[in-house]
Structure 1
Amino acid sequence: MLVTISCTRPVGAEWPATDLGYLLHKNPSRRQTFEQSYGVAHVLYPEASDERCTAALLLEIDPVRLVRGKSKGTPDFSLGQYVNDRPYAASSLLSVAISTVFGTALHGRCAQRPELAGTALDLRIELPAVPCKGGPEYAERVFAPLGWTVAATPLPLDPAFPEWGDSHYLRLELTGVLRLAEALTHLYVLLPVLDGSKHYWLDTAEIDKLLRFGEGWLTAHPEREWITRRYLTRRHTLVRTALARLAELDDQDPEELGALEHDYDDEGPGTETTVPQPVESGERAPSLAVLRRAAVHRALLTEGASRVLDLGCGQGALLLELAADRALTEIVGVDVSMRELKIAARRVRRLPEWQARRVTVRQGALTYTDASLRGYDAAVLMEVIEHVDATRLKALEQAVFGAAAPGTVVVTTPNSEFNVRYDGLDAGAFRHSDHRFEWTRAEFADWAHRVGATHGYAVRFEPVGPEDAEVGASTQMAVFTRKNNDDDAAKGAA
């Protein structure tokens, strides 16, 4: 089992390509060996010059050691444990080797060259044998959205008998300009995903690994549900929890829970539906998060807003969408979590310059007044209020509607009546464990009318997502407009 990582020195760079050795914490001038529980890992450099450097990780797998300690009573005890592709094809064994042998690089640390750890490098990764039953298309769909140029070549079952056709193994070549830590996290997560199995028992700690190594890219990946299922080897309890946590990181609710009741084992990326929809509809619906952001965006444009606050912006999903609209001249994201803001800031930096220069992110608690938030045309509280303790909700109302007092406030929150349409969501349960409450449409209307009357806003309501005749839409949205807006405009005209 082999993977090679090559780095080409950019034109004009002062550092040699052999500095890849600093990032990997492995000296290019010598071969190193690392004992693994299932065999031996070797690190060597077949090429090491100032212009180009290649590091190779070679695994020698002992099939007997893989099954040592397993009894005849275990479900997977069979001849297949001894006669298989594990010594040759990239799998979770390679992922584990990457984490143990290249651990500092995987976590983005480099004591001797810290600035290089944060630098995007011209990388080429080659894997001679990757199991992927879906063929080259699957490899393209999981790696390409991450910035890789993918060359996936099917390997024949037997070169001597071309009429037998291709096997389900690929020769995979990835080229791109990325940080080394990003490249390694992609391999760590996606190699077991393409393989579809793991060599060790999975528990809840595996969810933490997925979120940790998928940080910064998995939440926005178009195939994240398929990746999550395959990484967790279709263990529905783990997948449910992982998708719920991923949905929260992307300012979503875990509406996708219903889709997991079906068996997608034989299907590939892009096959699952993410929003409950009528049975007669054969088309894949957009996720509720996409519909929600679009509804908020439309409301802002309808009200003529140009300077907007995204209060509780999280990792910046809405910021990225609003940044693409030239009608919005200033967009400010506010969140209490520095961890979330760092991710949001990193995503904003990747935008084109004309978009990024109009977006700023800053830390702030929404239950405290902040004079710097006054004077904006609109503020958005998208899936925020349900995370606030009931005893602190009035403080948020005063900080946003009273102190900041934007011309428009857009609020979205789950409609608890719709929860009965989600398979697997127990009666009375919330969509996410961090929700302090979830309101019916009547409860939300009562709250909105009270807040509007207290702070001088008119309010209208709009459903978001497919609307059910009995229980309404999954998300409910209120658009507050300050009643003195028209008076102010009349005074200005006079």
Structure 2
Amino acid sequence: MLLTLTTTHRPATDLGHLLVKHPDRAHSFDVPVGTAHVFYPEAGEQRCTAALLLDVDPQRLAGGRRRGRQPAPEGFTLGRYVNDRPYAASSLLSSALSKVYRSALRGESRERPELAGTPIPLEVNVPVLRCRGGAEVAVRLFAPLGWSVTARAIPLDEQHPEWGDSRYVDLTLTGTVRVADALNHLYVLLPVLDDAKHYWVAPDEVDKLLRAGAGWLADHPERGMITRRYLAHRRALAGLALARLAEQRLADEPAAAEPDAVDESVAEGSVRQPSLAARRREAVLAALTEAGATRVLDLGCGGGALLAALVGDRRFTEVVGTDVATHALALAARRLRLDRLPERQRDRVRLWQSALTYRDDRLRGYDAAVLMEVVEHVDPARLPALEDTVFGHARPGTVVVTTPNVEYNVRYDGLPAGRLRHPDHRFEWTRAEFAAWVDRVATSYGYSAVIRGVGDDDPEVGTPTQLAVFTREEANR
């Protein structure tokens, strides 16, 4: 089995630092079914390719029913020895990938930490992949993740095209993606396309799936099929995984989990674009980075979607999430896996129950505070209390606020005129109303402010989300 990963990022040989495999050497690793080799067919400044070759020993693959191994799916005696398992990409390659590229899957690179968190141009090729459902399924699984997908069906016989296509495809993916994300996509989706596992699927596979699918699986339009196939159609495990994914979606984007709320992704035009929730987080992180903030408050943190992004960025040395709801804080703790984090990482994070309409001395002294999709959940009569708590009492150097642009609602299919995006929204501002609120708050509390849009900019109605960055004036002196 062969999988190649190519980049044209310059210098392209930085791929070796991201994969923690030196381009000048060939690397070999013993795996339960054979030997995995990593080598570089090309390694230049402009283009670099890393190849993972899994050399499967059919006898080791068929060698008895040791614990944790499933018998070969074929129903005849020689099926344990005569099958396509050593040659077509499957869960065997996925397992080898997880062992060989363990650090890269976690997004860790001691030599290039910033590059590990940066999307770079990538091309992935798997020349022989069993794809149940045909090439169209590969497109459905990878395209929503931002990949351009070429899945060429391999004919049964090149000399006899009338015989039709085999069940295998030659898969090529191109896109600008973090290496860690690319590897996690492959780790999950290779066995999903094959729709088979070479080992027994135990309950801990649910945790593996959710860990590798963090940040993309919960919002994937084919998450049901992915979950069922990855968990070998074990109904109880698939149900548990889907329930936990639904919980993540509720924490990440409340509107997506409410039957009466609009799905904000509908108006984003293309399934290949990141979700609006992801683009909001990216915009907030960019604003915090521009401000040079290192100690950050996530006010009204909910289930911790932004907290996870903050904790994953080492530039933020202290991260505090607050919410009035204890169940939201419990969701955030589970999302962050606080009980599993190393002590040094855990010491960077705090979760506090706190109401934004009451002064809290613990919130003072921080570089920045974020109110991401929060203000619209506050009754208008209580907004002055929130303003006093955040801008008057806590007074961080920077405050980042995001909120829906109600003018954009006409672009959402199925949202009746005059109805808000979520049943818990107390209001949604037009661009002019938001600008007026931003100007009044900035003037009242000694801040300067700029307003930006998040999402696709419609020439008539603007962007779906509006973002303001408040900077305390004395902090600039």
What does the per-residue CA deviation read over 1:139-171, in whole Å, with 9 as the maximum and x for residues that have no partner? 111101111000110001111222111001000
Distance 1:75 1:42 in 2: 24
1:362 CA displacement: 7.6
CA distance in 2 between counterparts of 1:238 and 1:362 reads 33
- Please name the residue that 1:188 is paired with: 187
Measured in 1, the distance between the counterparts of 2:117 and 2:216 equals: 16
Structure 1 59/75 Cα, relative in aligned 2: closer, same or farther at 3 Å?
closer
Residues 163 and 241 of structure 1: CA distance in aligned 2, closer, same or farther (over 3 Å): same
Deviation at 1:226, TM superposition (A): 0.9
When residues 157 and 289 of structure 1 are mapped into structure 2, their CA distance, relative to the original with a 3 A threshold, is same
TM-score normalized by structure 2? 0.59
User: Equivalent residue of 1:90, what SS?
Assistant: coil
CA contact (8 A) 2:7 2:121 kept: yes
Paired residues of 2:36 and 2:52 also in contact (CA < 8 A): yes
Quote the offset at 1:340 in angstroms. 2.6
- The Cα of 1:293 is off from its aligned counterpart by 2.5
Q: Name the structure 1 match of 2:220.
A: 221
Q: Which residue of 2 aligns with 1:122?
A: 121
2:194 alignment partner AA: D
Q: Classify the secondary structure of the residue corresponding to 1:57.
A: strand
Q: 1:404 to 1:56 in 2, by over 3 A?
A: same
CA distance in 2, matches of 1:92, 1:226: 16
Q: Residue 341 of structure 1 is aligned with which of 284, 296, 306?
A: 306
Aligned Cα root-mean-square deviation (Å): 4.0
DSSP 3-state at the match of 1:364: strand
Contact 1:334 1:362 in 2 (8 A): no
Is the 2:377–2:424 contact (alpha carbons within 8 Å) kept by the matching residues of 1? no
The residue that corresponds to 2:13 in the other structure is 18
TM-score scaled by structure 1? Answer: 0.57
1:347-371 per-residue CA deviation (whole Å, 9 max, x = no partner) reads 9xxxxxxxxxxxxx98312153334
1:98-131 Cα shifts (integer Å, max 9, x gaps): 1101111111001111111112111011111111
CA deviation string 1:174-196 (max 9, x = no partner): 00001100000000000000000
Q: Report the CA distance between 1:318 and its aligned residue.
A: 11
2:377 to 376, 380, 385: 380
Q: 2:322 aligns with which of 358, 364, 371?
A: 364
Q: Percent identity, aligned pairs only?
A: 48
> Corresponding residue for 1:294?
262
Q: Alpha carbons of 1:162 and 1:216: their partners in 2 closer, same or farther (altered >3 Å)?
A: same
CA distance in 1, matches of 2:158, 2:58: 25
- Counterparts of 1:142-161 in structure 2, within 5 Å, are 142-161=141-160
Match of 2:462 in 1: none
Please state how far the C-alpha of 1:333 moved relative to its aligned partner: 6.8
**Hey, what's the Cα distance between the residues in 2 that align with 1:166 and 1:296?**
39
Q: Which whole-Å deviations, capped at 9, do the CAs of 1:400-433 have from their partners, x for residues lacking one?
A: 8996599xxxxxxxxxxxxxxxxxxxxxxxxxxx
1:8 paired to 2:18: no
The 1-side partners of 2:228 and 2:109 are apart by 32
Asked if the contact 1:341–1:362 (Cα under 8 Å) also holds between the matched residues in 2, the reply is: no
Aligned to 2:293: none
Give the whole-Å Cα distance in 1 for the aligned partners of 2:258 and 2:151: 31
Match of residue 42 from structure 1:
37
CA contact (8 A) 1:2 1:57 kept: yes
Task: State the Cα deviation string for residues 313-354 of structure 1 (Å, max 9, x = none).
Answer: xx9859969x9xxxxxxxx972155x532357799xxxxxxx
Q: Does the CA contact (< 8 Å) of 1:251 and 1:317 recur in 2? A: no
1:69 Cα deviation from its structure 2 partner: 2.9
Instruction: Please give the per-residue CA displacement for 1:458-478, whole angstroms capped at 9, x wherever unaligned.
Output: xxxxxxx9xxxxxxxxxx967
Counterpart of 1:63 in structure 2 is 58
Relative to structure 1, is the Cα distance of residues 250 and 29 closer, same or farther in structure 2, using a 3 angstrom cutoff? same
CA contact (8 A) 1:39 1:59 kept: yes
Q: Secondary structure at the match of 1:41?
A: strand
The residue aligned with 1:485 is none
Query: Which secondary structure does the structure 2 equivalent of 1:293 belong to?
Result: coil
Letter of the structure 2 residue corresponding to residue 341 of structure 1: L
1:33 matched to 2:28: yes
CA contact (8 A) 2:264 2:276 kept: no
Matched length: 318
Amino acid across the alignment from 2:306: L
- On the 8 A contact 1:369/1:403 being kept in 2, the answer is no
Residue 245 in 1 paired to residue 244 in 2?
yes
Change (3 A) 1:402 1:292: farther
Q: Partner residue of 1:113?
A: 112
SS at the partner of 2:262?
helix
Letter of the 2:89 partner, please give it.
Answer: A
Structure-2 separation of matches of 1:112 and 1:405: 43
Task: Tell whether the 8 Å contact from 1:316 to 1:344 is kept in structure 2 after alignment.
Answer: no
Quick one: distance in 1 between partners of 2:136 and 2:263?
33
Counterpart Cα distance in 2 of 1:223 and 1:61: 31
Paired AA for residue 37 in structure 1: P
In 2, the alpha carbon distance for the partners of 1:227 and 1:54 equals 28
Residue identity opposite 1:289 in structure 2: A
Assess, with a 3 A threshold, how the Cα gap between structure 1 residues 48 and 379 changes in structure 2: closer, same or farther.
same
Task: Provide the rounded CA distance (Å) in 2 between the counterparts of 1:135 and 1:101.
Answer: 29
Q: Distance in 1 between matches of 2:147 and 2:138?
A: 11
SS of the residue aligned with 2:121?
strand
Structure 2 counterpart of 1:163:
162
Name the CA distance, whole Å, in 1 between partners of 2:215 and 2:171: 23
SS at match of 1:123: strand
Does structure 2 conserve the Cα–Cα contact (< 8 Å) formed by 1:39 and 1:65?
yes
| Cα 1:229/1:371, change in 2 over 3 Å | same
Q: Distance in 2 between matches of 1:147 and 1:243?
A: 22
Contact 1:341 1:363 in 2 (8 A): no
Deviates more, 1:154-163 or 1:102-111: 154-163
Compared with structure 1, are the counterparts of its residues 292 and 402 closer, same or farther at alpha carbon in structure 2 (3 Å cutoff)? Answer: farther
